[in-house]
Structure 1
Amino acid sequence: MSSEEYPFGPSDPDRVAIWQMLVSRDTDAYLAQDWHAVADDFVEEGFFGIDGRRDPNPDHWRIAFPTLELYRKEWLRQAAETAKSVDASKARAAFLDAVTLVDIQIDGPCALAHKIFNGRLPNRDGSHETLDWQTLYVCRRHEGRWKIASFVGYMPRTQVGSR
């Protein structure tokens, strides 16, 4: 399977929609520094994000994004930082090759999606940024489609459930 394809067939439209939201749309928007392209992928009311700090001890994890607005600012900051150094001609393929999203549990109007980052993002100067963490997204069916309600991100990839 190429990095352009999703791992779910047409008979699984919920997982396809979640994969498109969390992988292809997020990657394209991030590399373009275009929050507006993903803004409608979030449930603003009650949103929060936890930063796992790439630390295996959950006692050290913190609520870093108590509001969607704070997460938006950090997302844009990180996207701008990445854009300064990334080799744009290779970035999309590198991101898509580094991401695994095949574990999506759906229970009624809720879903838990395990997005794993394991790869390298090439920089213009020949160096690379290592992508090595995982994020658990809590999604909800909201306004007729799947959206991100919260997440626990930047967890070490070596935690239970990592591939």
Structure 2
Amino acid sequence: MIKPNPFKDADADRAEIWDMLVAKDILAYTKADWSMVENDFLEDEFFAVNAGFDNDPGKWNLAFSRFENYRDSWLEAAKASVETEYAEPLEEAVHKLTTLKQIEIKDGKAIARKQFDGTIQVVGKEPEVLKWQTLYYLKKTEAGWKIVGFTGYLPYTK
């Protein structure tokens, strides 16, 4: 089941961020269609940190100092998912295990905590386990909210 936006009628900024980071991102990823999300970033400001599922920030690394490297990695992973045979519709499966409830907004900036907790059954193989969280850093522009970076693959916590 595709989750509805929990902020839709309550908060326009949070609703916009949720749509971008959940609904649109999942749809684009499951179709391996970068064009759906390419305008959601401020390329010149973008960078991303990989926490490697480790609680120790001293072990984290600057995974993507260049936007192009992130885009290429995203496309490679999305294409691999599209080529995988899942036992359930992929978009619905990812929605089922994705949560985005915490969005802090202050002075035109935002931090959004997106969590993944569950498995997706792969035909004839072990299920894929998704159990981590990502902190997205966003900036409000005249064109709406844009992603300026994230810290991904943080250990999952409730």
Whichever residue aligns with residue 27 of structure 2, its letter is: D
**What is the aligned residue count?**
158
Deviation (angstroms), 1:130: 0.3
**1:1-163 counterparts in 2 under 5 A?**
3-87=2-86, 89-125=88-124, 127-157=126-156, 162-163=157-158
Q: Distance in 2 between matches of 1:152 and 1:82?
A: 22
Check the 8 A contact 2:103/2:111 in 1, yes or no.
yes
Retained in 2: the 8 A contact 1:41–1:147?
yes
The 3-state SS of whatever aligns with 1:124 is coil
TM score, norm. by length of structure 2: 0.94
Normalised TM-score (structure 1): 0.91
Q: For 1:14, what is the secondary structure of its paired residue?
A: helix
Q: Distance in 2 between matches of 1:45 and 1:130?
A: 33
2:43 is paired with a residue whose SS is: coil
- Cα deviation digits, residues 36-91 of structure 1 (max 9, x gap): 10000001112100011111211110001001100001101111222222427421
- Quote the Cα distance in structure 2 between the aligned partners of 1:71 and 1:88: 28
Structure 1: unaligned runs, 5 residues or longer: none
Stretch moving more, 84-93 or 40-49: 84-93
SS at match of 1:123: coil
User: Contact 2:48/2:150 (CA < 8 Å) preserved in 1?
Assistant: yes
Q: Report if aligned partners of 2:41, 2:146 keep a CA contact under 8 Å in 1.
A: yes
Identity over the aligned pairs, expressed in percent? 37
